[in-house]
Structure 1
Amino acid sequence: MSRPEPSPHADPLRVWFRFIRLSRRVTAAIGTELRALGLSIPQFDVLSTLTEREGLTQQELAERLYVTKGNVSGLIDRLVEAGLVERRAIPGDRRSHALHLTEAGRDLAVRGLAAQAAYVGRTLGRIAPQDLASFERLVLEWRELARADGAAR
């Protein structure tokens, strides 16, 4: 595999566009893999999040996924209808429900996570460990700059 050489005078805007294009490419690729399992990316986001922490309310789930509660509501309705997620009453709270995976939902989430891990292994996993560590450091630094910029606004 030949590695493209970055410019010695990297332009932040050019790097930004490359990063956005890469994000679109990998999102499309994993979307194809998930569709083969019968999942959309938003459905997988919900199922995989619930594998990490069941019992979230729709509001908590929306916050974790960086979407509105309205966006999550219809998605949860469809996942409940498909038998993948169930809503359980929260004692003392008549307005919210805790979200839990069904056995079928957990199985599908695990298969989706395996597909995602396989794709990452075939792509990002082939980068040299020291380069991957540098990339992670840069992504974390960028994340902190983005957070600080968002907090300043």
Structure 2
Amino acid sequence: MNDVQRNLHLPRFLPYRLTKLSGVISRSLAGKYSALFDLTIHEWRIVAILGSEPGLTAREIGPLASLDKVSISRAVEKLHKAGRLEKRTLKDDRRSAALYLTAKGKAVLADITPLAQKYEDDLLAGFTPEEVEQLDHFLNRLDAAAEARK
């Protein structure tokens, strides 16, 4: 063992900090969305993704939403049963379906979007525009570095 071995100090360990921050933010948002719109954070992610990229399959949404197959499947089924999501069977692969927001799903997205944007604005209120750009740049670099290590 090296004499200069680094100790793992969890409060300064980047993966822990990012996971903790993500959890705090997700729980806070989920609390708001659940109470106001009867949506889980997983459902919200799917609604947001389909709002900008309609027609994706559940398999395509998974990596974009950072959700596993089971979470995607449950969220898609709940959205479908609630009338917020429409499934269209693919001609080339009848086991898969393209997913689209219904009018009800689009209305939920329209109602949530300003709340989500305000939440983000409030989180970033203590940063200058330059710092927000730097943060975005650093997050993009971290994302690329993490993807390269998969």
Following superposition, the deviation at residue 104 of structure 1 comes to: 0.5
Q: What 5-or-longer segments of structure 1 have no aligned partner?
A: 1-10
Greater mean alpha carbon deviation, residues 52-61 or residues 124-133: 124-133
Tell me: CA distance 1:100–1:121, structure 2 relative to 1, closer, same or farther (3 Å): same
Q: Match of 1:28?
A: 27
Following superposition, the deviation at residue 12 of structure 1 comes to: 9.2
RMSD of the alignment, in Å? 2.1
Q: TM-score, normalised by structure 2?
A: 0.80
Q: Identity over the aligned pairs, expressed in percent? A: 23
Q: Match of 1:98?
A: 98
Return the letter of the residue paired with 1:57: T
Following superposition, the deviation at residue 15 of structure 1 comes to: 5.2
1:138 matched to 2:138? The reply is: yes
Following superposition, the deviation at residue 56 of structure 1 comes to: 1.1
Q: TM-score, normalised by structure 1?
A: 0.79
Q: Which has the higher contact order (CA 8 A, sep 6+)?
A: 1
Q: What 5-or-longer segments of structure 2 have no aligned partner?
A: 1-8
Q: What does 1:25-64 correspond to in 2, within 5 Å?
A: 25-35=24-34, 36-64=36-64
How far, CA to CA, are the matches of 2:39 and 2:74 in structure 1?
Answer: 15
How far, CA to CA, are the matches of 2:18 and 2:73 in structure 1?
Answer: 31
Greater mean alpha carbon deviation, residues 75-84 or residues 62-71: 62-71
Greater mean alpha carbon deviation, residues 62-71 or residues 83-92: 62-71
How far, CA to CA, are the matches of 1:53 and 1:145 in structure 2?
Answer: 25
Q: Does the CA-based 8 Å contact 2:42-2:71 persist in structure 1? A: no
Tell me: CA distance 1:92–1:14, structure 2 relative to 1, closer, same or farther (3 Å): closer
Q: Match of 1:117?
A: 117
How far, CA to CA, are the matches of 1:125 and 1:142 in structure 2?
Answer: 22
Q: Which residue of 1, 12, 16 corresponds with 1:14?
A: 12
